[in-house]
Amino acid sequence: MIVFKTFWKIIKKYKGTIIGFTIMLLVFGTINSKSKDTSTSFNETIPDIAVIDKDNTDFSKNLVKYLSTIANIKDIKESDIDDAIFYRDISYYICIPENFEENILRYKDEPVIIKTNETQGSFIVQTYLNRYLNVLKIRTFFSDDEEEIVRTVDKIMNSEAQIHVNSTFDSNQYSGLNRYYNFASYTLISVIMFIICIVLSSFHKKSITKRINVSSMDYKNHNRYIIYASIIYTVIVVLFYALLSLFTFGTITFSKRGLLLILNTLVFSVSCLSLSILVSSLTNNKGALNGMINVIGLSQAFLCGAFIPSMYLPSKVVSISKIFPAYYYINNNDYISTTEVFSINPFLKNIIILIIFSILFLILNNIVTKKKRVSYE
């Protein structure tokens, strides 16, 4: 009980920090969640798209013509495409590159450049686009006459049944909650790591360690109580953030998908706790700990999609972000919130990866702790 009381006394000293990060989540998380989102539930979807034709040949012109029959093509400048996708003015962007027709005729794979916000409308466009390009490539094997190829492709595509998508799932309903939890990855890392590291560094002081050694309490029991207290603190933080989302987004917070978001957040928070234990074993210097926590928190927030959605980040940056737990946490949030036909396998895959991170951090902590004990001896 003494360990528990001491743990919460230390936390009480830093309640201002906890309140500060909570206010940050409420302000920025809520503002981010209110970003314009025009996607809605629908019976028959006619998506809004943007198309830029840099080839300007028969093949490219016919592709644009075909796309206009299955979507609303908006006139948007290439420099404004990213903003249009982010604010969901369009769900899909297609750029037909130069030499598109020439490469198709030469049987070279010259894919069009696409950007998407992964809404239902974008999946429909992707389906039609893939079908058109496949038919076009197949027809080039049977003829070299460009006009004949275009006529045949038109005939085949127009003869196919139109796709109608019926859906009761509204991704827009969860978009605000999704952005809230994505931003929460930064505040969770900061709140959990800062407090746990400060508490553990306090217990790791030589004077405290000596008192424990001469006391009647076993050192293992002492550590066990600290871990229990840390887990309780972590769960309280997650539940508190969930309650905050309830006041902001209503009962959707505790819907099936909302509960999956909370579960995902809880597992991610455990990885933050494990990382805190590892970081605190490296040094007892509070200044150094604060610096490491800031670097870890901000780097994951910027690289993994908490501040800037991953779709707007360079592929190399996204590849680097996969070494952080936050990548898999945010990836799961996006999957839960935007996928119409939910499958448990991708969700569990990310959960397992987060658990592996937690175990890995604890193993590294044991290695560091053992080396320190050997050096002290």
Q: What percent of the chain has pLDDT over 70?
A: 80
pLDDT over 60 (residue 166): no
pTM above 0.75, yes or no: no
Confidence of residue 217 (pLDDT cuts 50, 70, 90): low
Confidence of residue 363 (pLDDT cuts 50, 70, 90): very high
Confidence of residue 220 (pLDDT cuts 50, 70, 90): low
Give the pLDDT of residue 39.
Answer: 43
pLDDT over 70 (residue 6): yes
pLDDT over 70 (residue 329): yes
pLDDT over 80 (residue 305): yes
Rounded Cα distance between 75 and 69, Å, is 16
Query: Helix H segments across 140-285?
Result: 146-159, 172-203, 206-214, 219-249, 256-282
When pLDDT is averaged across residues 9-22 and rounded to a whole number, the result is 76
pLDDT over 60 (residue 219): no
Rounded Cα distance between 214 and 216, Å, is 7
Rounded Cα distance between 170 and 238, Å, is 26
pLDDT over 60 (residue 181): yes
Q: Do the beta carbons of residue 149 and residue 62 sit within 8 Å?
A: no
The single-letter code of the amino acid at 111 is P
Give the pLDDT of residue 331.
Answer: 92
Give the Å distances, CA to CA, from 25 to 15, 18, 32, 245: 15, 11, 10, 10
Give the Å distances, CA to CA, from 187 to 130, 348, 351: 41, 24, 20
Give the pLDDT of residue 204.
Answer: 64
pLDDT over 90 (residue 57): no
Q: pLDDT tens-digit profile of 93-134?
A: 888 888 888 887 777 766 677 877 666 667 778 888 888 888
The number of helices, as runs of H, and strands, as runs of E, in the chain is 16, 4
Domains of the chain, each with CATH number or no CATH = 2-36+170-376 (no CATH), 48-159 (3.40.1710.10)
pLDDT over 60 (residue 214): no
Query: Left if phi > 0, otherwise alpha if psi is -120 to 50, otherwise beta: which for 56?
Result: left
Instruction: Give the residue with greater pLDDT, 164 vs 111.
Output: 111
Q: Are strands 113-116 and 92-96 parallel, antiparallel or unpaired?
A: antiparallel
Q: pLDDT tens-digit profile of 131-147?
A: 888 888 887 777 777 78
Q: Is 103 helix (H, G, I), strand (E, B) or coil?
A: helix
Give the pLDDT of residue 37.
Answer: 47
Q: Do the beta carbons of residue 275 and residue 299 sit within 8 Å?
A: no
Give the pLDDT of residue 259.
Answer: 94
